[in-house]
Amino acid sequence: MSDIQGLDAVNAAIRDLSKVAPVAARRAMARCGLIAVREAKANAPRSPTMKQLSATLKRKKRTARRTLPGGLERSIEYEASESGCAVFVASNSQAGRYARRIHDEKGITWRNRGPGTVAKGQRADEKFIERAIRDNAQNFGLIIDDELRKALPK
């Protein structure tokens, strides 16, 4: 019966992995979260600017109403931990009440894309967070592999 050479080194590597893996996973989740937030902001609909809104009026009259476009984009956030990453719009943010309706209820409570969203491009539409995650799933796997490869001892 022959002895297995290097078993102590493997056990030491596994002990090191349990210390290193949570740090690498947290770093990988943070990188994935940043990418998902960037993509979700690019996919999110936008309210029209005053110029865009005025151009759509039938009767060209000055108004005291002011728009603040980009509130939904500013409200998209993420939280990362070693167990995963969450991309969300907080309910107490600027677009908290609006975000769920825009993300999930196209065809139910709204149908047409507004002038601000149309100006932003074809990519801006419903399910903006879901599409950002789905479109980058392959990149997320590469990021996780990269972070674990960096963290593990050679």
* Nearest to 151, CA basis, from 10, 25, 31, 12: 25
Environment class of 131 (CB within 10 Å of its CB; exposed 0-12, middle 13-18, buried 19+) = middle
Q: What is the pLDDT of residues 21-36, one digit of tens each?
A: 788 888 888 998 999 9
- The Cα–Cα gap between 35 and 57 comes to 37
Encode pLDDT of 96-121 as tens digits: 888 887 777 676 876 777 777 777 87
- 52 and 115 Cβ atoms separated by less than 8 Å: yes
pTM: 0.73
CA-nearest of 113, 117, 68 to 93 is 68
Segments of the chain with pLDDT less than 70: 1-18, 62-63, 105, 107, 110, 153-154
Residues in the chain, how many? 154
Report d(CA 7, CA 84) in Å as an integer. Answer: 32
